[in-house]
Structure 1
Amino acid sequence: MTALTGIVLVTGTDTGVGKTITTAAIAAAASSEGVRTAVVKPAQTGVDPSYGEVSDMDIVARLAAPATTRTLAEYPDPLAPTAAARVAGLPPLDMFAVLDEIKSTAAEHDLTLVEGAGGLLVPMGLHPGGAQWTLADLAVALCAPAVVVARAGLGTLNHTALTLEAMARRGITGRVVLGAWPDRPELVHFTNLADLPEELDGLLPDGAGAMEPGVFRRSAPGWLTPALYGACDDPRTLAEPDED
Structure 2
Amino acid sequence: MRTMIVTGTGTGVGKTVVTAAVAALAAAGERVVVLKPAQTGIEPGAPGDLADVTRLTGARIATRELARYPEPLAPATAARRSGLPPLRVADVAAAVADIEGSGTDLLLVEGAGGMLVRLNDDGETLADVAAALDAPAPVLVVASAGLGVLNTAALTAEALARRSLTHLGTVIGAYPEQPDLAERTNLADLPTVTGAPLLGVLPAGLGSADPERFLTTARCGLHPVLGGQWVPPLP
TM-score, structure 2 normalization: 0.91
Aligned AA for 2:118? P
Q: CA RMSD for the aligned pairs?
A: 1.5
1:42 matched residue in structure 2: 37
Question: Per-residue deviation at 1:67?
Answer: 2.5
Unaligned segments of structure 1, at least 5 residues: 238-244
* C-alpha separation in 1, matches of 2:158 and 2:74: 22
Match of 1:138 in 2: 129
Match of 1:26 among 22, 25, 29: 22
**1:98-145 deviations in whole A, cap 9, x for unaligned?**
10101211332110000000000000135xxxx220000111112000
1:20 aligned counterpart, secondary structure: helix
Cα distance between partner residues in 2 of 1:207 and 1:67? 22
Check the 8 A contact 1:17/1:151 in 2, yes or no: yes
**Is the contact made by 2:202 and 2:217 (CA closer than 8 Å) also made in structure 1?**
no
After superposition, what is the alpha-carbon deviation per residue over 1:7-32, rounded to whole angstroms, capped at 9, x for unaligned?
10000000111000000000011112
Q: Which amino acid aligns with 2:19?
A: T
Match of 1:206 in 2: 204
SS at structure 1 position matched to 2:86: coil
CA distance in 2: counterparts of 1:27 and 1:94, whole angstroms? 25
Q: Give 1:242's aligned residue.
A: none
**Unaligned segments of structure 2, at least 5 residues:** none
Aligned match of 2:114 in 107, 110, 119? Answer: 119
Letter in 2 for 1:169: R
Q: Which moved more, 1:109-118 or 1:219-228?
A: 219-228
Match of 2:55 in 1: 62
After TM superposition, the score normalised by the length of structure 1 is: 0.88
Aligned residue number for residue 4 of structure 2: 8
8 A Cα contact 1:39 1:66, kept in partner: no
Question: Where do residues 73-92 of structure 1 align in structure 2 (5 Å cutoff)?
Answer: 73-92=67-86
Preserved CA contact (<8 Å) 1:202 1:225: yes
8 A Cα contact 1:28 1:217, kept in partner = yes
2:187 counterpart of 1:193: yes
Name the count of aligned residue pairs.
225
- Give the Å deviation of 1:94: 2.0
Q: CA shift at 1:219, angstroms?
A: 2.2
